Structures are given as C-alpha cells and as structure tokens.
Amino acid sequence: MPTWPVTLPDCPDSPGYSEQPQSQVLRSEMAVGPAKTRRRSTAAPLTIPVVYGLITRAQAETFEAFFVNDIGAGSLPFDWVHPRLGTTVSVLIVGDPPYELTPVGNGTFWDLSMTLEIQP
C-alpha cells in the first residue's frame, strides 16, 4: 500500500484540524410516540480536514506526483500516521476538488488542504 511521502510534513497544522465521525444512528419518526433508533453499521469512516501549511514548491510537487502516480488521483487508499493516536491508518483523499494548494505570500511557500477519510 502507498505511504504518505517522508519528505512531506508528518503532522498537519492544528488550526483547521478536526475529527468528524459520521453518525451511526438511523432514526425513524413514528406517527405516535418517540422516534425509534438503531445502529446503521459497525464500521464507519471518520473524516478529517487537514492543512499542511508552509510547504515548499518542491514539497508541493512531491505531493502532486504522489497524488497522481501513487494513489491514482485519489482513487487508492494510503497509509498515514494519525496525528492524535500516533498509529498508522488507511486513508483516502475525498471531496471535489480533492485538494487545494494555496500560495502564501509570493508563492515561495504553499498551504495544502484536503479532507482525509479513515477507512474502517
């Protein structure tokens, strides 16, 4: 399985980082009385918006090559170290657009933002 490139930062920036679990509850309203609830499944993906700030042009090019060549433009999962747990997890890049590179200042550095989905 592909792995997050070692030349890119290990950990995303704290601002903008959050963990967003998907609800595992299916709720059905009843004509009379309280709603009924049940668990949808035992495995749910967890989405994590991440920002890697102030990466160099070379690092941006490394990421783009990794995205296109190693993970099939985002179609394949890759191993990534979870910043809170410190364990390796399998993630996909999700969303449209899949990532955003934004120049900082005169374009010497870039901010890379994307949403990762931890695979159950």
The position carrying tokens 């009385």 is: 33
Q: How many helices (H) and strands (E) does the chain have?
A: 1, 7
Least confidently predicted of 6-10, 22-26, 59-63: 22-26
Say which amino acid occupies 6.
Answer: V
Q: How far apart are CA 57 and CA 45, in angstroms?
A: 32
pTM of the complete model: 0.84
Ranges of each domain in the chain:
20-118
CA-based Rg of the chain, rounded to a whole angstrom?
A: 18
Residue pLDDT, tens place only, 11-57 = 999 887 888 888 888 889 999 989 888 888 877 788 999 999 999 99
pLDDT at position 14 is 85
Tell me: pLDDT of 79 over 80: yes
- The full length of the chain comes to 120
Mean pLDDT computed over every residue of the chain: 92
pLDDT at position 45 is 81
